Amino acid sequence: MKTVQSTNARTGEPLGAPLVAHTPEQVDKAAEAAALAFAGWQASAGGQRAQLLRGLADALEADREELVTLADLETALGPVRLNGELDRTAFQLRRFADMAERGVAFERTDDPAVAGGPPVGHPAMVRQRVPLGPVAMFSASNFPFAFSVLGGDTASALAAGCPVVVKAHTGHLLLSIRVFGLIQKVLASLNLPAGLIGLVQGGGSDVGVRLMQHESIAAGAFTGSTRGGAALQAVANARPRPIPFYGELGSINPVIALPALLASKGADLAATLAGSISLGCGQFCTSPGVIVLIKDPASNAFVQQLTTALAAQKPHAMLTPGMRQAFDAGVEHMVTAGVKPLLQEVGNAEAPRPFLAQVDAVHFIAKTALREEVFGPASLIVWADSVAQTLEVLQAVGGSLTVTLWGADTETDDARALVRGAMAIAGRVLFTGVPTGVAVSAGQQHGGPWPSSTQPMTTSVGDAAIDRFLRPVCLQDAPAWVLARQGRPC
């Protein structure tokens, strides 16, 4: 019998008794229960979907005190951050409830018949969407509410008409189990099948791989490391009938700061950037891992200001001992690859210290190891000779969730080139502020070219996240009773 153990993130001590990992048979049972729930849920009205999503949001808020306390023990993220994240999670559940009630999943294109022969003439056609089916959702470590059991993937899949089977993250097992208990109560109160939202748990990759391989699973949604996401994508592609896999993976999120702006606002920008690098102990997929500067006295001054501001930051403990070990190893890997440390202090057993280093653009472009994400409070300054070389740095990065451009407010040839280069590799381009903080909104795009995500045409945050779990279907010369359903699947 395999077990998994919850731990106190601050002390590394066990929390509670070991938990039994799900067997392959139990994983299969959860997938089969989701498949049984699919027929009814895909045909459900928007109002019914909205009722469930709002009920789940209410349940989270009603149990806030216990949930936040438990989450803090398992993640060390602190009650302020965790209360804010719970608020965000409830907000996005209700936002997708509103979308479901408005019939977003049922939107269609009506293309009336045109008399005559082709190519001008054609039959009556309606293009609408149908839900894919049960979704395997993999919880993230760094957002125990917003990207976990009832996070955005679950909310958007349910709003689309898809059941969900959640793979609990081992970094917050007890929290996941408690949230799942709330889910089951809400499902029962609404007379919905328990299998509509399932939960499986286990260490290693056995449980997740088994879930992705089950014939009832129609899509996968994942937030985590590039290595883990690539492995699951390979599983999805190797199935007898491959399925879509929506992975939000690693990203180094370049920040490009032009000298003219640094000359006037360098100190303020340094303080803002230092806070972003150390926010949440750097455990954000949008943490700024690379800072591209063009050689200039203002850039030199900015580096000194940033080093001072970052040295004053005091990151909290990382989510798990394994992540702390990976952070230390990642920093050492960067040093071995030839960077020059500017700030490298030894942290204590609980929390790391911020790391800042610098390297020239030629070396950065040549060394693949320098373009790998270091998950934690670390950032690398890359020195470029010109805007042209800055663009070469962006091309070397290859794919990122975000690129931030400071100082491109006036249209020039250089500004156009930088915006064009940033848009070529990123899902979101910022002109002010910092990349940490991802709004749940209609215009959000959280996903970019590989290695930042597996499906750059989609987003895992914002209203368009629902599109991942809906497939277009054309109905040609459909009878009146089908059309009367107004896009709602049978």
Q: Which residues are catalytic?
A: 248, 285
Q: Which of 259, 67, 231 is nearest to 145 (CA)?
A: 67
- CA torsion angle 154 165 171 209 (round to 10): -130
Half-sphere exposure at residue 352, Cβ-oriented, CA atoms within 13 angstroms: 32
C-alpha span between 377 and 386 (Å, rounded): 28
Q: How far apart are the first and last CA of the chain?
A: 43
Q: Are 223 and 285 a contacting pair, CB within 8 Å?
A: yes
- Residue among 399, 394, 393 nearest 451 (CA): 399
Query: Buried b / exposed e across 289-320, counting CB within 10 Å, b at 16+?
Result: bbbbbbeeebbebbbebbbebbeebebbbbbb
Tell me the C-alpha distance between 433 and 405, whole Å: 9
**Angle between helix 79-102 and helix 152-160 axes, rounded to 10 deg:** 10
H or E stretch including 223? Answer: strand 219-223
Residues contacting residue 83 through CB under 8 Å, at least 6 positions apart? 64, 68
Give the torsion through C-alpha atoms of 55, 61, 62, 68, to 10 deg.
140
Residue 323, exposed/middle/buried by CB under 10 A (0-12, 13-18, 19+)?
buried
Sheet (strand 135-138) strand order:
197-200, 164-167, 135-138, 219-223, 245-248
437 DSSP 8-state letter: -
d(CA 459, CA 285): 14
d(C-alpha 416, C-alpha 441), whole Å = 26
